[in-house]
Structure 1
Amino acid sequence: MVDMLRDGQTTGAATAMSPSAVEPAVGVADETSGRTVLRLDQVDKRYPGVHAIKSVSLSVREGQIHALVGQNGAGKSTLVGIAAGSVHADSGTVEIDGESTQSPTPTWCRERGLAIVYQEPALLPDLTVAENMRLGMPVHARPAIGDQIAWAEEILARWSSVASIDARTPVRELRPDARFVVEIARALAERPKVIVLDEPTEHLLPPAVAELFTLIAEHTAAGGAVVYISHRLNEVKQIADTVSVLRDGALVGSFDAEDVTEQDVVNLVVGRELDRTFTRVTGADRIMGEELFAVTDLSGKRFDGIDLTVRAGEIVGFAGVEGQGQRDVLRALGGLGGHSGTVRVGDRTIDPSSPAAALHGGVAYLTHDRHVEGVLSGLSLRENASLSALGRISTAGVVSRMRERKLTGETFRSMRVKAPNDEVDIATLSGGNQQKVVLSRVLLSDSDVILADEPTQGVDIGAREEIYSILRKAAAAGKAIVVLSSSAAELEQLCDRVLVFSRGQIARELVGDDVNEHAIAQAALSATHSREKAGTGTGRVNFWHRMSRSDLTPGAILLIATIILGIIAATQSDTYLTGRNFSLVLPLLATLAFFAIAQQVVMMIGGIDLSVGPLAGLLVVVASFILSAYRTPVGMILGVIVLVVVAAVVGAVNWSLITVVRINPLIATLVTFTALQGLALLMRPLPAGQIDPFFLSYVSGVWGFVPVMAVVAIVVAVVLEYCLFRTTFGIKLRATGSAGPTAERNGVRTRWVTLGAYVGCSVLIVPAAILLMVQSGTGNASIGDSYTLASIGAAVLGGASIFGGRGSFIGAFLGAVLVTQINTVVQFLGLPLYWQQWLLGGLTIVAAAFYSKSRTLTERS
């Protein structure tokens, strides 16, 4: 095979190694055995400036593991995204289990038996593990919502020896390895005809990898098929039956795995003969300087008494079984973990209390979780890379675009970043190219010390060697470098010394000839007799821990604040706790509560509706026309239906501006705000018209001193809270706000969920407008204007996130209660009206700070 590849170089790599140019005798996979469960036929995909997939045809047969390999940017993830329906091809056909289509969707693919584990898990951070697992299942295989926790725990029990994960835990609190376990467990639970695994072992620990391979073998033995994408050729050779190679978007060929060596595959991947033999360059071959980085008695939550020195030009490795404290030490030195002790860079003592402080002190940290901590989505490659070098490319705070482009351009070329240009969004790049850009940011900081946490995670063979070379060059330039890697072979190739961790301490130091793969692995395994499970990010939590991270926690805080204010008012005035006072205050509370609940609906998807106030005014004006003539119950019902239709139309207009026209929600609803206000004033320039008194008396009924509409507001809040967590639409609403693109991958039609949210918000303004009619009795166009900001404030007080995915309708109601209580108590205490704003603002800051701090502490723990 290798000889044939060498001969082919004279006629061009692409031609020489095309399927037609390689004889079956030397490795072309036999496509005739077994039933085909996945077929891609002439699939083609272009992006601006990039021909990502070039008329690829590929077949996957039942009972087999079909490996797909290639360099970063070769098109692997794009191809499987097309197969899974998350990427739309320009042309071509996808066939799953005999059914074909040219326009697959995630739901269509899932229902026909294809499951996929993406390189970045398609999990919604604000949903629990159980909710994520259920949402990702085909409709026919989903358990009842009430049974989802027990169902998820049963599936995760298979992984209990390597992962301890509470099904009630929000995914945002899981460590990266635990997220991958959840994603893989969910996909296998579907019992799909074909499962696609895109770099599944990048974040898994060795025990979890072994468990995965066991489950894959069971899946194929039962007649299922696996498409396995990996840069780890030893894994490919270990488990694959067929190997297909992609290069520059084209299929080079498909080969029987037993007929090709790792070297053959490497040569196919890169398109040339690549010598993988590596001569280690150590400190003995370089000139080392004085001690540059020194750590004394460093202690933290999972480590203690760490002493470490690194000389200029030296590369020191961190090794050990995962969970022994090595990553915690590295993150603490990078400013991402609490610690005590002394850290020196050169002759300066620094305090890496934050990433910014560490960077200022000359320490740059490369994260192992680029998706969460490394990549700045929405910014270009140039902006991502130059962020740490702004001081070098600016004068008096003004960035020189010429210097920036030159600096980043040279770095990208040296690292062979594959992208149409430096201005494209980094999110459009493959995972390996994103890793190169994040690494370039670290290098451009020109720090004295570089802390590299899994520097080659998710990159291909060729790029891995390039990163090794870059780190060696940085060391040769006088940098002190610390590398943490789960690969003993990688540490052997890079490091001058290796420190092996056990139970939070340095158990052994390897130097000289002892820095080899066998010795490193042996030291890691013999240095500890106990190991943490993968993904022990949470485990079981007690009641108080769960309450501290609950979306109801802010509401509980507000309730306590409301009671305290009530006690203060009651001690100062005998009329506070009277039926007359409550009969005056509760209608105002009910009005604001409906506004806050309505606002909470759109805030769940990350939007804010500025038009709610003018919409209420418009509805009051419309009512002054249509509810003045009707005096029968049927007439009143018809009038209310008209108001609901008007509100729904306004919600649909907001949705169209945001989703179809793609205007920012704030701008879109501000446009609607102005239009509704103008229309209402056009209809009633001054308050006029009388709303039917019989209708007003009917809707303003009371039970004792409690208005009926106040009770209705409580019922609506409780019902919506239940729906938010116990109905399919509620879970989809939270999923859309948590991570819209990921929700799409899970089959959620976010466009229609967004439509439901904006229409629902507008319809919930109808009862608020009816209460305003009771207050005015006439058509008043501006009566609702003051409620826009008040509704947002109440919802935020109740725990709503402006980014979506989190919030509580009960919390929004209690936010309205607190705002109303503040306004009432200020009057009873005889304080100036500005005290309303002071109290409201102060309590908002205190509540938000407490809630944010408690959630941060929970997530860190």
Structure 2
Amino acid sequence: MADRTDKDVVLRLDSVDKKYPGVHAINEVSIEVRRGEVHALVGQNGAGKSTLVGIAAGSVTADSGAVEIGGARATNPTPQWCREQGLAIVYQEPALLPDLTVAENMRLSMPEHLRPAVESQISWADEILEQWSNVASIDPTTPVRELQPDARFVAEIAKALAEEPKVVVLDEPTEHLLPAAVTELFRLIAELIDAGGAVVYISHRLNEVKQIAHTVSVLRDGALVGTFAGESVTEQDVVNLVVGRELTRTYTREAARTASLADTLLEVTDFSADRFSNVDFSVRAGEIVGFAGVEGQGQREVLRALGGLTSNRGTVSLADRAVKTSSPTAALDGGIAYLTHDRHNEGILPGLSLRENASLSAFDRVSRLGVIRRYRERKITSETFASMRVKAPSPEVDIATLSGGNQQKVVLSRVLMTESNLILADEPTQGVDIGAREEIYSILREASVRGAAIIVLSSSAAELEQLCDRVIVFSRGTIAKELSGEDLSEHGIAQAVLSATSTRSRVETTLKKVTLGRRIARNDLAPAAILAAATVLLAFVAISQSDFYFTSRNFGLVLPLLAILIFFAMAQQVVMMIGGIDLSVGPLAGLLVVVGSFVLSAYRSPVGMVLGLLVLVVVAAVVGLVNWTLAVVVKINPLIATLVTYTAIQGIAYLLRPLPEGTIDPVFLSHISNKIGFVPIMVIVAVAVAVILEYSLYRTLFGIRLRATGSDHNTADRVGVRTKLVALAAYIGCSVLVVPAALLLMTQAGTGNAGIGDSYTLASIGAAVLGGASIFGGRGSFIGACFGAVLVIQINTVVQFLDLPLYWQQWLLGGLTIAAAALYSRARTLTERK
């Protein structure tokens, strides 16, 4: 170990230790990374690599030890502190917020002194992404949720390098990258090293490690095996250190060829879709066929279509029986199982155990008459995990707690447990260590020996050479060449791929041209336009029934109700931005009206009235604090938490005023109900507040952090957003926005009425959802919430003009809310798929 005063050391982990229940993840590890050095960190899945770099980046808290970056030392660093000291990290799963644009994601993670102004973030991001223009075309205004995995990694790496770090940590950076992008990454790493920076490089691809690493540290079972000069160890040395034994290939393609292949099992004829056409091929029982080609040539689309994930046409026959591929369920019922390449978004189910994740597609094997046979389920999953060498404390732990490689093994276990006739494996060894990779090859071969047909899509020509009996090369959506026998080699595959197409090796997953329809679908203000049109249509219906509708007197009656609901809708929208729903807003308004009957009573001085208003704000803030404590600190589901508050508030309000009584100062109420013509001042105030909040949502750092917290609070934590404080501000802000609504309700009641706000809870949720709010957080619009409130009031008004029973108001509101949620969800889903 070098002397601790060495000025060249830019990152030092000093005796860091971390334990999880049943696992000693990091065992007293000390590592130094020096300026001008690529320091590789290698080890099997579960060896502790990602935990160690998480500690270095402040996203994982060590039980003991210290982190030192550029001479600054901390025993409990935060992501923000690490970033400010000069550490940037690219995680194995990109730390990008799906509901923010690429530019917003990049700006959010920047250190304070490098963060651009909001108005220039798009041009700033575009300039950074331009360095990758020869391998990726990424529009900085594209929401991250619309990017495929390879494009996400390009954006994540570009973001990290833009932070001008002293040391950058790259956790499996090339798993999703095309060869051209890997070359570009290595070029940028070389530039960073030449400029005096440092890189911590984590990879299972030992050829890459040998290519760029100056120093290699090996982890095994959470402990540091040793640190070696890169030129002093061979690939085989590193493999043996990683696995703790001499590893040899025990199951290769050549050895497996001794078994003859059976008859044709899969027959695909005239298979076509948007990205491929007229694809014909067959696979025999016991055969492993590889799909190869430059990314974007249709091979992945064919695989996903066979798995039922995208619409298609043509004929698919398995074991002489036609199979429907209209959906994943239909494909699975027909004997086709699909292993996704996007483990994070399509593979694992966070919150469920390993056992539940693995058995999800094999219920027919573990159930009888629809009832799970728990013993059999545990037996089958345990045997499968043992054969896959899944490293976990127990099959009952949450899959989200596992390393990426072990998650991949569990997802593969799910596919194997279906015992399907056809297995579609999209990058099956992605994120898996060298030892587990050989095990997966062996497992896939064993499945083929049992008679299954297997199709493997891989970006690694070496993997296809070792594993496959035949390789099909795609170009421009059609089959360009087929390789077998002596032609099936790493060199032969690479040559066939490069000669099959003149298309550049670019990331094709981003939009080259953003159509008007796509811009409208992705815009959070689009629902407002739909609601405005619906409101106008209903207005014509009302006018056709009565001339009274379009009069100042009618508007004078309706607009105060509109102002109340706008404030309620905006309050609900604030907390829905972080993925919560506040059921307590209605009873809170009733409580504020009751409190107002005490603190805003007649004959008080102006100072007394101001103090009374402050009391109302404090009461509202306390309720918001209680909601936050229950939902965020105690971690009760927000619906349950706010339902508890709902009951408590209502009880307190009725305790103070069992019956409506007490007089609120009429002079004060006259100021609240003032009008300009027939338009109440509070309507103008409500619209102004909505515009300010809408501007803040997209143009201020807090607004972006609010959206980030709702988009994915775990990822937001990792990029330095203090999500608990953001959630606190959201819950308190929601409650405080109820105060002006309560003041308007006081003008209606004039006295302390505990139940006056109850009906507004569901109406506020309906207005926010109609305005485009996502119940999962991250998306929504305050202006949209305003238009949602307009439509709700319009529905209520038109129902009365049509002489319909009042319950039609609830039917129409409920039906439209459900329809709107379904429509917006479907539109966004289609946008993301395209």
Shorter-chain-normalised TM-score: which range? Answer: over 0.9
State the partner residue of 2:346. Answer: 373
State the partner residue of 1:289. Answer: 262
Match for 1:45: what amino acid?
K
Match of 2:567 among 594, 599, 614: 594
The alpha carbon displacement at 1:532 in A equals 5.2
Structure-2 separation of matches of 1:476 and 1:171? 41
State the partner residue of 2:418. Answer: 445
Structure-2 separation of matches of 1:33 and 1:288? 62
Q: Contact 2:462–2:490 at 8 Å: present in 1 too?
A: yes
The alpha carbon displacement at 1:572 in A equals 1.6
Q: Contact 1:602–1:609 at 8 Å: present in 2 too?
A: yes
State the partner residue of 1:25. Answer: none
State the partner residue of 1:126. Answer: 99
Q: Contact 1:621–1:683 at 8 Å: present in 2 too?
A: yes
Structure-2 separation of matches of 1:749 and 1:42? 27
Match of 1:262 among 223, 231, 235: 235
State the partner residue of 1:695. Answer: 668
Structure-2 separation of matches of 1:764 and 1:790? 15
The alpha carbon displacement at 1:263 in A equals 0.6
Structure-2 separation of matches of 1:171 and 1:282? 44
1:829 aligns with 2:799: no
Structure-1 separation of matches of 2:278 and 2:504? 20
State the partner residue of 1:384. Answer: 357
Cα deviation digits, residues 643-663 of structure 1 (max 9, x gap): 111101111111111222222
State the partner residue of 1:710. Answer: 683
1:680 aligns with 2:653: yes
The alpha carbon displacement at 1:443 in A equals 0.4
Match for 1:853: what amino acid?
R
Structure-2 separation of matches of 1:424 and 1:230? 26
The alpha carbon displacement at 1:835 in A equals 2.4
Change (3 A) 1:639 1:475: same
The alpha carbon displacement at 1:281 in A equals 3.5
Match for 2:399: what amino acid?
I
- For the residue of structure 1 that corresponds to 2:361, the secondary structure is helix
The alpha carbon displacement at 1:513 in A equals 1.6
1:766 aligns with 2:727: no
The alpha carbon displacement at 1:545 in A equals 2.0
RMSD of aligned Cα (Å): 1.4
- For the residue of structure 2 that corresponds to 1:519, the secondary structure is helix
The alpha carbon displacement at 1:286 in A equals 1.5
Structure-to-structure mapping, 1:414-563, within 5 angstroms: 414-531=387-504, 533-563=506-536
- For the residue of structure 2 that corresponds to 1:447, the secondary structure is coil
Change (3 A) 1:547 1:282: farther
1:174 aligns with 2:147: yes
Match of 2:156 among 183, 189, 208: 183
State the partner residue of 1:65. Answer: 38
Q: Contact 2:256–2:445 at 8 Å: present in 1 too?
A: no
Q: Contact 1:282–1:496 at 8 Å: present in 2 too?
A: no
Match of 1:671 among 637, 644, 649: 644
The alpha carbon displacement at 1:834 in A equals 2.7
State the partner residue of 2:128. Answer: 155
Structure-1 separation of matches of 2:43 and 2:104? 34
Structure-1 separation of matches of 2:516 and 2:165? 37
Structure-2 separation of matches of 1:31 and 1:770? 64
Structure-2 separation of matches of 1:844 and 1:227? 50
Match for 1:612: what amino acid?
V
Q: Contact 2:602–2:666 at 8 Å: present in 1 too?
A: no
Match for 2:223: what amino acid?
A
Match for 1:525: what amino acid?
L
Q: Tell me whether 542-551 or 678-687 shows the greater mean CA deviation.
A: 542-551
Structure-2 separation of matches of 1:301 and 1:616? 53
Q: Specify every segment of 5 or more residues in structure 1 that has no aligned partner in the other structure, as ranges.
A: 1-18, 20-28
State the partner residue of 1:16. Answer: none
State the partner residue of 2:330. Answer: 357
1:730 aligns with 2:730: no
The alpha carbon displacement at 1:526 in A equals 0.6
Cα deviation digits, residues 520-564 of structure 1 (max 9, x gap): 111011111113521532234144421221111111111110000
The alpha carbon displacement at 1:31 in A equals 10
State the partner residue of 2:165. Answer: 192
Structure-1 separation of matches of 2:408 and 2:102? 27
Match for 1:444: what amino acid?
M
The alpha carbon displacement at 1:514 in A equals 1.3
State the partner residue of 1:45. Answer: 18
Structure-2 separation of matches of 1:119 and 1:535? 21
Match of 1:81 among 54, 63, 70: 54
Q: Contact 1:631–1:694 at 8 Å: present in 2 too?
A: no
The alpha carbon displacement at 1:146 in A equals 1.2
- For the residue of structure 2 that corresponds to 1:202, the secondary structure is coil
Q: Contact 1:363–1:447 at 8 Å: present in 2 too?
A: yes
- For the residue of structure 2 that corresponds to 1:43, the secondary structure is strand
The alpha carbon displacement at 1:481 in A equals 0.5
Match of 2:110 among 137, 152, 158: 137
Cα deviation digits, residues 601-631 of structure 1 (max 9, x gap): 0000000111111100000000101111444
The alpha carbon displacement at 1:60 in A equals 0.2
The alpha carbon displacement at 1:321 in A equals 1.0
Cα deviation digits, residues 63-119 of structure 1 (max 9, x gap): 110000000000000000000000000000111011111111101100000000000
1:810 aligns with 2:788: no
Structure-1 separation of matches of 2:453 and 2:734? 56
Structure-2 separation of matches of 1:385 and 1:284? 30
Q: Contact 2:178–2:505 at 8 Å: present in 1 too?
A: no
Q: Tell me whether 510-519 or 700-709 shows the greater mean CA deviation.
A: 510-519
Structure-2 separation of matches of 1:277 and 1:654? 58
Q: Contact 1:294–1:310 at 8 Å: present in 2 too?
A: yes
Structure-2 separation of matches of 1:705 and 1:847? 31
Match of 2:594 among 621, 642, 659: 621
Change (3 A) 1:353 1:692: same
1:244 aligns with 2:246: no
Match for 1:229: what amino acid?
I
Q: Tell me whether 73-82 or 548-557 shows the greater mean CA deviation.
A: 548-557
Structure-2 separation of matches of 1:630 and 1:124? 53
Match for 1:681: what amino acid?
Y
Aligned residues: 834
Q: Contact 2:589–2:757 at 8 Å: present in 1 too?
A: yes
Q: Contact 1:179–1:535 at 8 Å: present in 2 too?
A: no
Q: Contact 2:46–2:391 at 8 Å: present in 1 too?
A: yes
Match of 2:82 among 91, 101, 109: 109
The percentage of aligned residue pairs carrying the same residue is 74
Cα deviation digits, residues 22-48 of structure 1 (max 9, x gap): xxxxxxx99998710000111100000
Cα deviation digits, residues 186-221 of structure 1 (max 9, x gap): 100011000000000000000100000000000000
Q: Contact 1:166–1:540 at 8 Å: present in 2 too?
A: no
- For the residue of structure 2 that corresponds to 1:388, the secondary structure is coil
Structure-to-structure mapping, 1:572-611, within 5 angstroms: 572-611=545-584
- For the residue of structure 2 that corresponds to 1:285, the secondary structure is coil
State the partner residue of 1:216. Answer: 189
Q: Specify every segment of 5 or more residues in structure 2 that has no aligned partner in the other structure, as ranges.
A: none
Q: Contact 1:300–1:339 at 8 Å: present in 2 too?
A: yes
State the partner residue of 2:720. Answer: 747
1:412 aligns with 2:385: yes
Match for 1:341: what amino acid?
G
The alpha carbon displacement at 1:259 in A equals 1.0
State the partner residue of 2:204. Answer: 231
- For the residue of structure 1 that corresponds to 2:466, the secondary structure is helix
Structure-2 separation of matches of 1:48 and 1:479? 39
Match for 2:133: what amino acid?
S
The alpha carbon displacement at 1:840 in A equals 2.4
